[in-house]
Chains A and B, each alone.
Chain A
Amino acid sequence: MPDITKPILEVKNLRTSFFTDDGEVKAVRDVSFDLYEGETLGIVGESGCGKSVTVMSILGLVQRLGKITGGQVLFRGKDLTKIPADELRHVRGRDIAMIFQDPLSSLNPVLSVGYQIDEAMYAHDVIKHDDIRARGVDLLEEVRVPDASRRIKDYPHQFSGGMRQRAMIAMGLSNKPKVLIADEPTTALDVTVQAQILELLRDLNQNTGTSIILITHNLGVVAGLCQRVIVMYAGEIVEEGTAEQIFENPQHPYTWSLLRSMPRVDTSRRERLKSIEGLPPDLIAPPPGCKFNPRCPFRIEQCFSDDPTLETVGDDDRHIAKCWVRMKRAYAEMGAATLTDTRPGAASGVRPPKTLVEKLEDSREIEPDTEAVGDLRGS
C-alpha cells in the first residue's frame, strides 16, 4: 500500500513571475505544499489565481515571459528547478506526467493518436521498445477507448472530446509515472463524460497508487476525488486541509465564499446563485495587506495593513488558513451563518482606510458604490 505520510513531491516557497511590458506579474507567490505518496491532492481557486502556473512550474513548463524566481521543487531529493535541462526532460513524462484542460488543442492534429502515445514511451527507457506498440493498445483499452486496436491509428480530430482526454491520460500513464498532474481535465467536457474521466482517475489512483494533483475550479470534483485540498487565491495558498476540513469547516472567507457559490441540488429554485463580489486582484500591484480584502465581507482594519500568514486552525496541524479573522470568529461575532449581504465589508462594517481609498481611486480600482451595486442587484 502507498505510504500517504511520506511526501513524494515537496514544493517549497515557489515563486513564478511573468515579466510583461506592464510590469512583473507575480503569478505564484511563495507557495509551499507537499504531495504524499498515493494521495489525490486538489488545488482549487478561480481562474487566474495561479493554480496552473504552480504546476507548470513544477515541471519547468512555464514559457516565454514566465520565470521561476525562487523556491524549490524537491522530487527524489533533487530540486527540479535547478537540475540540468536534460535531467528535467527525463522527469517529465516518466516520473511526473501531466494532462491538460483542452484535450483537442493538447493533441497534435497532424500525428496519429497512437504515434503520440508511443512517442511518449520511446522518449524514456521505462518500457522495452519491442513492447511499446502493444502497450499503446493496452493503454487505450485501459482508459476504456472502445475498439482500441483500430482507433489507435486515428487522428485526434477523429476522436470525441472525452476520447481525446482518455488518450491524453493513456499517454500520461504510458511510462507508469509516480505523479500525475491533471490540470482541469474535465473542464472542456460534458457532464457525463466528466464523471467517466474522474472515475478513471480515481481507479488509477487506487489501483496503481499514482499520486495525483488535480487542479480544478469545480468543488464538486474535488469533494468526490481528493483526500486533501489546497485553496489558492491571487497566487497564494489561502487555506489547506483534508477534504473534510475544507468542506465541513472552511476557515478562510474565500473558501467559505467559494463553497457558498456552489449551486446545490437541495436549495430552492428561486434562490439566486451566490457569487463572490468583484474580481481577483491585479497581480502586478495587488492591494496591501490581505489580497482578499477588497472582496471580503468579514474584513477588519488589520486586513488592510498587514498580510496574514498561513497558520494552523484548531489543533489539527494539517488544517491551515491565511486569515486574520477566520470563519470561526465570523460565525461567532459577525453572524456569518445568516448572512445574505456578502458585499465587501458587509458583515464587519469595515470600509477601507481613507488613505487607501484615495490611492485606489487614483489607480482606477474604485471601491464599488454600494448604492449602485444595490440597484444592479435589485433589477
Chain B
Amino acid sequence: MLTRGTLIYIGQRLLLIAFTVLAVSFAVFAALHSLPGNPFVNEKLHGAELAAQMHLYGLDLPIPIQYWNWLKGAIHGDFGVSLAILNEPISPIVFREFSVSLMLGGAALLITLGLGTVLGVIAAARQNTWVDYTLTTFAVIGYSVPSFVLASVFILVFGVWLFNVTHGAFYYPLNWTGTYGTIEELSIPAIALGLYTSGQVTRITRAAMLDVIQQDYIRTARAKGLRQRIVILRHAFRNALIPVVSIAGPLIITIIVGSVVIENLFGIPGLGKEFVESILRHDYNIAIAVFTLYAALIGVANLLVDIAYAAIDPRIRY
C-alpha cells in the first residue's frame, strides 16, 4: 500500500501542515499581543517597574521581532516561559497537558467510531424493527444534545446523585486526583464527549449500510453461499465505512472543540482547560503554544483520515 507515490503525497501533506501551523501561530501571536492588557496587570506594577518587567520578557519589542524570537525557540520545542507562573518553562507543561487531552480525545474517538458503527450496523440489519427505531432515536438524541449539556447532566447524575444514593460507595469522583487520570476518571468525560459524535456516526453508518446491502456485489456475495455474518461484516461493512471515514475529519475537529468545554467542566488538566485559562491570564506564550499544537493536531488528524481512506478503498490512491 505504501507506494512511492503515497510517501511523496504524505511528505507533501506534512509540508503543507507545517506551513499552516506556521501561519496559525503568527496570526494567533499577533492577535493575542494586540489584545488590551498585559500579563502583569494584576501585579500592582506601575510605570517604570512595569516597563522594566515588560522589557525583561521582551514584550516591548515590535511584534514581528517578538514573533521571530519566539519562533526560534519553538522550532526547537521550546515555547518559552510562562508569564503567569514566572519563569516556568512552558514546553513540559503543555506536552503533559497535550497527552492528557490526547487520551481523552482518543477515548472519545474510540467511543464515537466504535459505538457509532456498531449501532449503525445493528440498526441497518434490523431495519424498521423496534431495535432500529430505538437505536435511531438514541442517535438523534445523541447528536441533538450538545456535549456540554450532556456533561452537566453526567456530573449531576454520576458525581452527585450516585454519591448520595450509594452513600459515597460508588460514584464518579469529580476531582481529578493525579496529573494523567485513571480509566475511571476518563470514562465519564470521554462518554460525554463521544456520545454526541457517535450519534452522527450511527446515523451515517446505518444509511450507508442500507445503501450498500442493496448493491449488486452483496447479491453476488450471497449467491456465493457466504454466511450472512460474513456478507454483512466483510462485504457490506467495509464499503459502508467509506462515507464514515469521509466525515471522520470534521468529527475529530468536533471532538477537539468539545474537549475544551468538557475539560473545563470536569476540571481535567488538559490542553482545553489550559487554553481557556491562559487566555484569561494573558499568558501569551502558553496560549500560543496551545493554539499551535491544536493546529498541528488537526492537520495531522486530517492526514491520518486521508490515509485511512486509501487503506479502506483501493480505488483511492495518492
Contact = CB atoms under 8 A, between A and B. Distances in A.
A and B found bound together:
yes
Interface of A: 59, 61, 63-64, 85, 89-94, 97-98, 100, 102, 105-112, 119-120, 123-124, 155, 157, 168, 171
A246 B7 CA distance: 62
B223 A110 contact: no
B215 A110 contact: no
B239 A108 contact: yes
A100 B225 contact: no
Interface residues of B, number: 24
Interface string B224-248: 1111101000110011001000000
Contacts of A63: 214, 219
Nearest to A109: B315
Contacts of A155: 314-315
Nearest to B241: A110
B219 A106 contact: yes
B312 A110 contact: yes
B163 to A, nearest CB: 49
26 contacts: A89-B226, A89-B227, A90-B225, A92-B223, A92-B224, A93-B224, A93-B225, A105-B215, A105-B217, A108-B221, A109-B217, A109-B239, A109-B313, A109-B314, A109-B315, A110-B242, A110-B313, A112-B314, A119-B226, A120-B226, A123-B224, A123-B226, A123-B227, A124-B225, A155-B314, A168-B220
B293 to A, nearest CB: 35
Given A110-B313, A111-B238, A105 B216 contact: yes
Contacts of A119: 224, 226
B219 A92 contact: no
B2 to A, nearest CB: 16
A157 B217 CA distance: 13
Contacts of B314: 109-110, 112, 155, 157
The SS class assigned to the A binding surface is: loop
A157 B216 contact: no
A116 B105 CA distance: 37
The SS class assigned to the B binding surface is: helix
B127 to A, nearest CB: 10
B315 to A, nearest CB: 5
A171 B217 CA distance: 13
Contact of A110 (B222, B227, B239): B239
Nearest to A64: B214
A110 B238 contact: yes
A178 B215 CA distance: 27
A100 B220 contact: yes
Interface in B199-220: 214-217, 219-220
A89 B226 CA distance: 7
Contacts of B230: 123
B226 to A, nearest CB: 5
B220 A106 contact: yes
B313 A89 contact: no
Interface string B286-318: 000000000000000000000000001111000
A106 B224 CA distance: 12
Given A105-B216, A109-B313, A94 B223 contact: no
B220 A107 contact: yes
B43 to A, nearest CB: 62
Nearest to A59: B223
A143 to B, nearest CB: 16
A54 to B, nearest CB: 15
Interface in B4-50: none
Interface in B132-162: none
A108 B235 contact: yes
A97 B220 CA distance: 10
A84 to B, nearest CB: 13
Nearest to B239: A110
A110 B316 CA distance: 10
B254 to A, nearest CB: 27
B170 to A, nearest CB: 45
Contacts of B235: 108, 111
Contact of B219 (A61, A85, A111): A61
B244 to A, nearest CB: 13
Given A110-B312, A111-B235, A100 B216 contact: yes
A64 B218 CA distance: 13
A105 B214 CA distance: 11
Nearest to A88: B225
Contacts of B215: 105
A93 B223 contact: yes
A119 B215 CA distance: 18
A66 B89 CA distance: 70
Contacts of B242: 110
Nearest to A124: B225
Given A107-B217, A107-B220, 7 more contacts: A89-B226, A89-B227, A100-B223, A105-B216, A109-B217, A110-B314, A155-B314
Contacts of A98: 223
Nearest to A117: B224
A112 B226 CA distance: 16
B58 to A, nearest CB: 55
A329 B219 CA distance: 45
A309 to B, nearest CB: 33
A123 B225 contact: yes
Contacts of B221: 108
A106 B225 contact: no
A230 to B, nearest CB: 21
Please give me the 3 A-B residue pairs with the lowest Cβ-Cβ distance, nearest first.
Answer: A93-B225, A92-B225, A105-B216
A184 B312 CA distance: 31
A64 B315 CA distance: 29
A194 B83 CA distance: 77
B281 to A, nearest CB: 51
